[in-house]
Amino acid sequence: MQNEKVERIKYLVEALNRAAKAYYAEDREIMSNYEYDALYDELQTLEQETGMVLADSPTVNVGYEAVEELPKERHESPMLSLGKTKSREELRDWLQGNPAILSWKLDGLTIVLTYIDGKLAKAVTRGNGEIGEVITNNARTFKNLPLSIPFAGQLVLRGEAVISYSDFEKINESIEDAEAKYKNPRNLCSGSVRQLNNEITARRNVQFYAFSLVNAEGADFHNSRQEQFTFLKEQGFQVVEHYLVTEDNILETVEHFEKKIDGYDIPSDGLVLTYEDIAYGQSLGRTAKFPRHSIAFKWADELRETTLKEIEWSASRTGLINPVAIFEPVELEGTTVSRASVHNISILRALKLGIGDHITVYKANMIIPQIAENLTGSDTLEIPKNCPVCGGETEIRQVNEVQTLYCVNPKCPAKQIKAFSLFVSRDAMNIDGLSEATLEKLVDMGFIQEYADLFHLGQYKEQIAKMEGFGEKSCQNLLDSIDRARETTLPRLIYGLGIENIGVANAKMLCRYFDYDLEKMCHADVETLSAVEGVGEVIATAFVEYMQNPDNIEKMEKLLPQLHIEIPKVEEGSQTLKDLSFVVTGSLNHFASRNDLKDLIEQRGGKVTGSVTSKTTCLINNDISSSSSKNKKAKELGVPILSEEDFLRQYDIPMGE
């Protein structure tokens, strides 16, 4: 029996760590919050029963390692997770007669801010609790964050970067490709805050809510958390909604928050309770993982039992077919729910679903419908061998331990509509007036069968003007937009073709590498493409396979005469960095992002790589004394480390360029 428990512990540790890596480091979900919490609780119980705790158990480790793209920095004091409860009575008993502050537990990305002499000096993500990522430039774009404050001493505080549900919905509405839409505000926020280009962060309307003051040099708060919150508000920070509670009013205050959650625009996954008496809270110390001055309250998921009626299979542009569970309608958190995404084949199989099974459903964070558990577990559901749209064959593919279903028919109508939708999107041909619904009508009427046909729609002007939702004016607007789209760039064309794994950034990178020569690109082999920085064998293979497909070649031959592709002009004598290789790291002062500096270097003929080697001309890092891995490597190899100013000065580049 003990051996079985030990093996179960090993399995749970591995599964939970894998889920944490996906969630924190890769911004994707491989299991629901409900499942994670259940497995975590089971692990804790088994560890208590056996007395065995593995070194990498999530019950003793916090978070996941920060990714490599941003500079890392160690926090002055560890950022621990909080102990949690779903019991309101346990929350009240935790007070032990002491007053405390009850506030929202927001669901975004935790940030530590440092202000010096009244100016924002540094912003660092939570990371793994010990080491975070420096995102100072991005934090400067948070729409409600003060860059200057009245307090002149050193101030360190913590808070949550979040994206509201309303902004999340607006951003998703602007994304035409269903596969590219974000799953939830937390993932969108995490990706936005950790961008290398802070222009992207700025467009995402990230907000910051302060929830804890770490240190305010020389300030006296009379041992009161409440006074700390008041102080932060006086400095111009938005703080989390909070109330002073005692054993007498804590339950009604929890109820107050509960009534607000349904219409609350800021993502929240519970509440936080912190002792009002700062010294008392600090005197309690900490466990290996949790501080004792605070505890988190997570909403007990409202579960409803229902019956699975069917699985709807939804096809997309790349052929990905996602399962969606349709069940008998139930009331959840005040709304009627009858469907929930099952995400992929791996999750579907783990739930052992079958039509007619009794399942329990809930809303993750009281918002997103999910299946919690399959009470029947018949495991009788068959994975379709044929695409629900075209009837073509399907296949199961496995990437990063996740199995997904694909339609392999290249002429599947679902792929066709989605492909046209991407082709006319803003970052591709940028043709206004062609929604998926309109494209579907045009395909059904036989007006468009391939990309080139879009540029011949003028011959169907009368018929289009009579289509539902159109008139003569809107039809003419569409045709004008199509004419404007003829003037385009090679990166827009390459992205618009919808080649697997080729996004906007990859398209630009490939075009620069091949000097905007489409002929060279089309005839490049996998080995040549794999050598391009940031491409790799997977992307290279997909690109070559696309360019060698006779159908694709024929489509491009018909499309290219319809376009005028602008080739960037390279001024004589401007290639001052030709054949030189650079690495850029750390925060920048004169450039909005590393991509801006990278573009400048590439425009002058230079190359920017991700790692320091003996072939690197110099490492550009404003923190020359940093002990980062790139700095160490540069010193080992004798590669010069230059600040931005030194780099611009040495290579005679005007500061404002």
Which of 654, 454, 639 has its CA nearest to residue 559?
Answer: 454
Q: How crowded is the C-beta side of 103, counted as CA atoms within 13 Å?
A: 22
Beta-strand pair 335-341/320-332: antiparallel
User: Over 256-320, what HEC string results?
Assistant: HHHHHHCCCCCCEEEEEEEECEHHHHHHCCECCCCECCEEEECCCCCCEEEEEEEEEEEECCCCE
Q: Quote the CA–CA distance of 293 and 284 in Å, as a whole number.
A: 7
Angle at the Cα of 290 (from 288 to 291), degrees rounded to 5? 110
Render the burial of 102-141: b for 16+ CB within 10 Å, e for the rest: bbbbbbbbbbbbbbeebebebbbbbbbbbbbbbbbbbbeb
418 is catalytic: no
CB 513 within 8 A of CB 591: no
Q: Quote the CA–CA distance of 201 and 195 in Å, as a whole number.
A: 7
Q: Quote the CA–CA distance of 223 and 35 in Å, as a whole number.
A: 40
481, burial (CB in 10 Å: exposed 0-12, middle 13-18, buried 19+): middle
- How many CB atoms are located within 10 Å of the residue 517 CB? 14
Which of 174, 239, 244, 250 has its CA nearest to residue 211?
Answer: 239
Q: Quote the CA–CA distance of 104 and 239 in Å, as a whole number.
A: 10
Return the structure tokens found at 447: 């007006």
Round the CA-based radius of gyration of the chain to a whole number and report it. Answer: 28
Tracing tokens 């607007």 back to the chain, one arrives at 477
3-class DSSP assignment, residue 349: helix
Q: Quote the CA–CA distance of 426 and 495 in Å, as a whole number.
A: 11
Listed in sequence order, the DSSP H helices in 411-471 are: 413-423, 436-444, 461-465
State the amino acid at position 506 in one-letter form: N
How far is C-alpha 505 from the chain's CA centre?
Answer: 16
CB 325 within 8 A of CB 412: no
CB 585 within 8 A of CB 647: no
Set 72, 105, 363, 418: catalytic member: 105
Q: Quote the CA–CA distance of 274 and 250 in Å, as a whole number.
A: 12
| Catalytic site positions | 105
